């Protein structure tokens, strides 16, 4: 079969890597891809917002299935666009993508279906928002309604800060957001829970915990993710039952009732407090860097999974996972998540072993004159699995030492909550 993966991050490299191991794969293209995907797929450099051009490449290359990595093309309706033209796509349509694309949509869906989530208010004017903020307890969480590239959420420690953030959002700081969502602050520990959904059923697709803050001990500004590990420390059978019954199943049922059944990967960002799950957010895609650790643990052929999911035949498939623990550490360019340096050569990559327990997934890289150079804030994902998380982390850190890239930095404490215990 011929597959296309859309995106250029570590998530897409990990997906391409797994697809490339399938016996059934004939052709694999990545749009636009990075230096890592270039080794195993044909990179095609086109704008992922240009659906017409993507469709024309898909026809030309005889692609059977398209996997969409990032949220922006999904919320812009790429799955509908391609499906209307008889292309099989893994990913939700535009309406269902509002689960991530509009926090107001997601919160209202939770409220209407008794799905546990933080109390909230949605506002399109400052006066009403002010009243709500003044009656709230601190901290209060201020969120832009639409997509904001991970920058739309602020946990505010004072009324003044909450008013300032709210005003900025309502004045148009994020083009995608004319509304603001104000939320009660949830205490607890976060857990990422993944499912893969088709029109007839859904499957568990792994658990993970990521580290969003830039600094060790989870301090400093938020990033796209500095590292992740799987399985998540907190997930027990009991908790999983609650997550499915109270959150996942009512959501999928609600989407069906609205006439837009969910399809594709669904990522629930949860807060766990006193063994009870609360939904913080939905993402309509795999997590990055969570996908990288899940792909290392996945034992079933990914191509077979995607084939079944896009034929609404997941019900008959058993998805198997390796029991090993897995960790990924993100190597970032100096300056990230602020302004970071670019176009710096990364040496020694080929000297690091690559096998079923050791992979380096590329994120912000490109190849030029047989050299690997950096282009993004998050540059490489050093991913290892072992029988314990501690061993997996030590191995990742050893591999990192060999890279010897003075233009980058990383966190040494990924997985600390699970490893300390």
- Residue ranges in contact with ligand AMP by CB under 6 A: 118, 141, 153, 155, 183, 185-186, 190, 212, 269, 280-281
288 binds ligand GLY (CB under 6 A): yes
Residues 6+ apart with CB under 8 A from 155: 139, 141, 185
* Residue (38 or 107) nearer to ligand AMP, CB: 107
Interaction of residue 102 with ligand GLY, rule CB under 6 A: no
Task: Report the first-to-last Cα separation within the chain, whole angstroms.
Answer: 45
**Given its phi and psi angles, is residue 33 left (phi above 0), alpha (psi -120 to 50 degrees) or beta?**
left
Cβ at position 49, least distance to ligand GLY in Å: 19
Nearer to ligand GLY by Cβ, of 198 and 210: the residue is 210
Q: 281 contacts which partner out of ligand GLY, ligand AMP, none, CB within 5 to 8 A by kind?
A: ligand AMP
- Compute the least distance from the CB of residue 36 to ligand AMP, in Å: 26
**Are β-strands 65-68 and 88-90 bridged in parallel, bridged antiparallel, or unpaired?**
parallel
Q: How far is the CB of 182 from ligand AMP (least distance, A)?
A: 10
Tell me the three state secondary structure of residue 414.
coil
Question: ∠ CA 237-394-232 to the nearest 5 degrees?
Answer: 15
Answer yes or no whether residue 415 interacts with ligand GLY by CB under 6 A: no
190 binds ligand GLY (CB under 6 A): no
CA 181/CA 184 separation, integer angstroms:
10
A 10 A CB-CB count for 36 gives 29
Number of residues that bind ligand GLY (CB under 6 A): 6
CB atoms within 10 A of CB 299: 9
210 binds ligand GLY, rule: CB under 6 A: yes
- Residues 408, 412, 418: CA angle, nearest 5 degrees: 145
Which of 110, 283, 274 has its CA nearest to residue 193? 283
The helix or strand, by DSSP H or E, that contains position 71, with its residue range, turns out to be: helix 71-75
The set of long-range contacts for 120-126, using a CB threshold of 8 Å and a minimum separation of 24, is 120/181, 120/182, 120/183, 120/184, 121/181, 121/182, 122/179, 122/180, 122/181, 122/182, 123/166, 123/170, 123/179, 123/180, 123/182, 124/170, 124/178, 124/179, 124/180, 125/170, 126/166, 126/167, 126/170
Residue 190 or 301: the one with the smaller Cβ distance to ligand AMP is 190
Using CB under 6 A, which of the segments 233-241, 270-278, 281-289, 354-362 binds ligand GLY? Answer: 281-289
Q: Which is nearer to ligand GLY, 163 or 271 (CB)?
A: 271
Q: Interface mask (CB under 6 A) for ligand GLY, residues 219-258, using x and -?
A: ------x---------------------------------
Return the range that interacts with ligand GLY (CB under 6 A); candidates 15-23, 49-57, 280-288, 334-342: 280-288
Q: How far is the CB of 269 from ligand AMP (least distance, A)?
A: 5
Nearer to ligand GLY, 156 or 293 (CB): 293
Between residues 38 and 212, which has the closer beta carbon with respect to ligand AMP? 212
What is the C-alpha separation between 357 and 122, in angstroms, rounded? 46
User: According to the binding rule CB under 6 A, does residue 80 interact with ligand GLY?
Assistant: no
63's contact among ligand GLY, ligand AMP, none, with CB below 5 to 8 A by partner kind, is none
Q: Which of ligand GLY, ligand AMP, none interacts with 210 (beta carbon under 5 to 8 A by kind)?
A: ligand GLY
Closer residue to ligand GLY in complex, CB, 198/290: 290
Q: How far is the CB of 71 from ligand GLY (least distance, A)?
A: 8
188 binds, among ligand AMP, ligand GLY, none (CB under 5 to 8 A by kind): none
Query: Which of ligand GLY, ligand AMP, none is residue 153 near (CB under 5 to 8 Å by kind)?
Result: ligand AMP
289 CB burial (10 A radius; 0-12, 13-18, 19+)? buried
Query: Could you give the CA distance from residue 289 to residue 224 in angstroms, rounded to a whole number?
Result: 8
Least CB distance to ligand AMP at residue 120 (A): 8
Q: Which does 287 bind (CB under 5 to 8 A by kind): ligand GLY, ligand AMP, none?
A: ligand GLY
Q: How far apart are CA 278 and CA 253, in angstroms?
A: 18
| CA pair distance 386, 391, nearest whole angstrom | 6
- Choose the one of ligand GLY, ligand AMP, none that binds residue 118, judging by a C-beta under 5 to 8 angstroms depending on kind: ligand AMP
287 counts as binding ligand GLY under rule CB under 6 A: yes
Binding footprint of ligand GLY on the chain (CB under 6 A): 210, 225, 283, 287-288, 290
């Amino acid at each position: 079969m011929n597959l296309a993966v859309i995106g250029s991050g570590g998530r897409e490299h990990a997906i391409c890597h797994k697809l490339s191991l399938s016996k059934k794969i004939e052709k694999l293209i990545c749009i636009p891809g990075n230096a890592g995907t270039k080794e195993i797929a044909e990179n095609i450099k086109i704008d992922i917002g240009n659906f017409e051009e993507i469709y024309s490449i898909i026809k030309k290359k005889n692609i059977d299935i398209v996997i969409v990595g990032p949220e922006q093309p999904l919320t812009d309706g790429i799955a509908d666009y391609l499906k209307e033209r008889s292309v099989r796509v893994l990913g939700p349509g535009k309406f269902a993508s509002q689960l991530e694309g509009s926090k107001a949509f997601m919160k209202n869906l939770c409220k209407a279906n008794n799905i546990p989530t933080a109390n909230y208010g949605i506002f399109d004017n400052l006066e009403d928002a002010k009243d709500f903020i003044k009656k709230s307890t601190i901290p209060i969480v201020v969120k832009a309604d639409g997509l904001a590239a991970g920058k739309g959420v602020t946990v505010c420690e004072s009324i003044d800060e909450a008013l300032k953030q709210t005003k900025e959002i309502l004045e148009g700081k994020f083009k995608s957001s004319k509304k603001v969502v104000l939320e009660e602050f949830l205490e607890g520990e976060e857990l990422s829970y993944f499912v893969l959904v088709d029109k007839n059923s859904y499957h568990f697709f792994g658990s993970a915990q990521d580290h969003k803050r830039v600094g060790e001990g989870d301090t400093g500004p938020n990033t796209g993710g500095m590292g992740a590990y799987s399985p998540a420390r907190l997930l027990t059978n009991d908790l999983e039952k609650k997550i499915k019954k109270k959150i996942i199943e009512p959501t999928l049922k609600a989407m069906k009732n609205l006439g837009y059944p969910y399809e594709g990967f669904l990522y629930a960002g949860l807060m766990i407090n006193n063994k009870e799950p609360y939904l913080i957010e939905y993402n309509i895609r795999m997590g990055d860097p969570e996908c990288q650790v899940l792909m290392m643990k996945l034992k079933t052929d990914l191509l077979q999974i995607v084939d079944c999911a896009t034929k609404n035949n997941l019900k008959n498939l058993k998805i198997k996972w390796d029991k090993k623990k897995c960790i990924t550490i993100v190597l970032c360019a100096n300056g990230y998540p602020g302004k970071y340096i670019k176009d710096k050569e990364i040496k020694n990559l080929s000297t690091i072993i690559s096998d079923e327990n050791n992979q380096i997934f590329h994120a912000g890289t490109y190849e030029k004159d047989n050299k690997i150079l950096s282009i993004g804030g998050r540059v490489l994902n050093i991913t290892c699995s072992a029988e314990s998380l501690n061993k997996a982390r030590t191995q990742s850190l050893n591999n990192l030492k060999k890279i010897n890239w003075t233009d980058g930095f990383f966190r040494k404490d990924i997985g600390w909550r699970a490893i300390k215990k």
